[in-house]
Amino acid sequence: MTADTLVLDEDLAKLVSYLTFDGHLGKNLSRFYLSSSNFVFLKDFEKIVVSKFGLKPHYEQGTGFGFSYKCRFYSSKVAKLLFEAGVPKGDKMLVPFRVPAWIKTNRVFSKAYLSIGLANPLLSIHTLFLST
């Protein structure tokens, strides 16, 4: 797969979940990242993005509360595809968000989406509220 195509699948549902909860899609749609102290999540996020889009990850120490790292990717093409898939761009505290219909109406995609939030106890309550 390339940055020119968008295939709705379990991995994309996971990417939407990662970016919605502990990630960020730049407002100008030029970059996206996952911020976490959990290297299992970071490596899974990296693996999916590299596999689906062939991008090179950039790691940096996170900022804000606690100790974390960011797995960042730069690609306007992929960022635009992720936005089209339903990832909110910019400040998620200001942008209303609903789980995309292509995820909510597919049991396999819903399970993949929720698996990210439910695997992280800090996200599970947030996930339940957003999935309604």
Containing 88, the helix (H) or strand (E) segment is none
- Tell me the domain boundaries of the chain: 10-130
Residue 6: its pLDDT value, please? 82
For the chain (132 residues), the mean pLDDT of every run of 10, in chain order, is 74 95 93 93 97 96 79 97 94 84 95 83 48 45
Between the alpha carbon of residue 68 and those of residues 4, 11, 60, 115, 124, the distances in Å are 31, 23, 9, 21, 19
Q: Is CATH 3.40.50.2000 the classification given to domain 10-130?
A: no
pLDDT of residue 132: 44
Q: 105 phi and psi, to 5 degrees?
A: -95, 5
